């Protein structure tokens, strides 16, 4: 027990830092969308596809990554993700054609799979009553998207794209080595030795898996969609420069990052269902406000920040709910499936928003679709989890 307590904080911090670094790598393309569009003469549809493409592998890859984490442990799998991610990070920085950018952008989804490694890794270190807090703190590592949104355009302007990507590759190598050298798997953790596909099939028979996947597709998918596509949206609607759009996108991501551990902690206190109801209700309202295209800075900025806060609360609440509904031995596999759904939830909105803007010159229809989706999710949450113990 003493070994468990002394290792909790250190390994939670390491996992959160590794999550942040890999998410920065995952989001290297989005903040530079404006320059890619200008240099390559891309249409809105082509640009939307380029921004969204890393999400595919980053989403679907979470399924096998969750199983591998159950089998080999989070320490080794975090290091593996960091080391393998170096290749697409470097080649994305060296690519100068749309075709190669799409290919390496697809492979750049690998660092986005780290989420499915971290959740079971952190869960094993903490007792059930504190897992909402622990997974919420770990989830704050999605602030890597904020670091990317703010720092990547600045670094590229100062040193060039190839150097910036090389710097990211070094950060990944250092993170992987630190995880191997200092990180430890929980003494509670035992390797899952059962064959992988039966575990997936078993996880897919759980009602909680599909319920959580749906909720996470809306909450985390919304966050991913905004964090990757917001630079493009802000440049199109409010005519910000690439660095200005990146700075404001970083503010959005930071708000969501701060809200995620709050969502986990509140879930421990008042129950995850109440947190999710607040999150989806607020998302509905903010989507309707943004559909009116409020003026720049204070009205629009405040609306985006509030949207981020509600989505962040939702992401924290979903995995607090998973910790209550799913036994610890299945968390890694279920997390992989739920995480995949969340990532895929972030793949389609940029494509929809790009198509809507190309057709109408505005994003009103896209926001309206988000409001309807959030309202449907709110209603489902209210009905599906009515009988769940809240305390």
Of 139, 173, 193, the position where a domain reaches its end is: 193
Whether pLDDT at 166 is above 90: yes
**Which domain range does residue 363 map to?**
197-390
Do 247 and 301 belong to one domain? yes
pLDDT, residue 4, reads 61
- Residue 114's CATH number: 1.20.1250.20
**Three-state secondary structure along the chain?**
CHHHHHHHHHHHHHHHHHHHHHHHHHCCCHHHHHHHHHHHCCCHHHHHHHHHCHHHHHHHCHHHHHHHHHHHCHHHHHHHHHHHHHHHHHHHHHCCCHHHHHHHHHHCCHHHHHHHHHHHHHHHHCCHHHHHHHHHHHHHHHHHHHHHHHHHHHHHHHHCHHHHHHHHHHHHHHHHHHHHHHCCCCCCCCCCCCCHHHHHHHHHCCHHHHHHHHHHHHHHHHHHHHHHHHHHHHHHHHCCCHHHHHHHHHHHHHHHHHHHHHHHHHHHHHCHHHHHHHHHHHHHHHHHHHHCCCCCCHHHHHHHHHHHHHHHHHHHHHHHHHHHHCCHHHHHHHHHHHHHHHHHHCCHHHHHHHHHHHHHCCCHHHHHHHHHHHHHHHHHHHHHCCCCCCC
Is 63 in the same domain as 12?
A: yes
Q: Are residues 207 and 239 in the same domain?
A: yes
pLDDT per residue as tens digits for the range 30-71: 888 888 888 889 888 888 889 888 888 888 888 888 888 888
Q: Which of 165, 193, 221 is the last residue of a domain?
A: 193
pLDDT in the model for residue 390: 45
Give the whole-number percent of the chain exceeding pLDDT 90: 43
Confidence of residue 283 (pLDDT cuts 50, 70, 90): very high
Q: What's the total number of domains in the chain?
A: 2
- The listed range with the strongest mean pLDDT (185-199, 279-293, 331-345) is 279-293
Predicted local confidence at residue 320, as pLDDT: 84
pLDDT at position 391 is 42
Does one domain contain both 207 and 169?
A: no
């Amino acid at each position: 027990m003493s070994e468990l307590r002394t290792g909790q904080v250190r390994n939670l911090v390491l996992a959160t830092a590794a999550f942040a670094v890999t998410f920065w790598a995952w989001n290297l393309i989005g903040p530079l969308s404006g320059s890619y569009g200008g240099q390559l003469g891309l249409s809105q549809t082509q640009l939307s596809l380029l921004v969204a493409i890393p999400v595919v592998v980053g989403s679907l890859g979470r399924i096998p990554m969750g199983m591998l984490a159950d089998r080999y442990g989070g320490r080794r799998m975090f290091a593996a993700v960091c080391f393998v991610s170096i290749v697409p990070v470097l080649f994305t920085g060296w690519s100068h054609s749309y075709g190669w950018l799409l290919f390496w952008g697809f492979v750049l989804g690998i660092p986005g799979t780290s989420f499915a490694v971290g959740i079971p890794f952190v869960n094993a270190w903490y007792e059930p009553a504190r897992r909402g807090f622990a997974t919420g703190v770990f989830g704050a590592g999605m602030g890597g998207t904020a670091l990317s949104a703010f720092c990547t355009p600045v670094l590229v302007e100062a040193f060039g794209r190839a150097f910036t990507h090389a710097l990211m590759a070094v950060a990944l190598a250092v993170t992987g080595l630190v995880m191997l050298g200092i990180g430890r798997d929980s003494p509670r953790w035992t390797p899952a030795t059962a064959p992988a596909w039966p575990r997936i099939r078993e996880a897919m028979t759980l009602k909680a898996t599909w319920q959580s996947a749906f909720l996470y597709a809306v909450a985390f998918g919304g966050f991913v969609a905004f964090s990757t596509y917001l630079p493009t949206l802000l440049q199109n609607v409010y005519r910000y420069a690439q660095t200005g759009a990146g700075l404001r996108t970083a503010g959005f991501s930071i708000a969501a990052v701060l809200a995620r551990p709050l969502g986990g902690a509140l879930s421990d206190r008042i129950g995850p269902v109440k947190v999710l109801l607040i999150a989806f209700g607020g998302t509905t309202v903010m989507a309707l406000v943004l559909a009116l295209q409020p003026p720049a800075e204070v009205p629009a900025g405040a609306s985006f920040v509030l949207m981020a806060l509600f989505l962040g609360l939702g992401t924290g609440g979903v995995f607090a709910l998973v910790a209550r509904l799913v036994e610890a031995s299945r968390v890694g596999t279920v997390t992989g499936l739920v995480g995949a759904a969340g990532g895929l939830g972030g793949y389609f909105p940029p494509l929809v928003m790009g198509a809507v803007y190309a057709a109408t010159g505005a994003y009103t229809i896209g926001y309206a679709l988000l409001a309807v989706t959030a309202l449907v999710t709110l209603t489902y949450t209210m009905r599906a989890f009515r009988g769940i113990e809240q305390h």
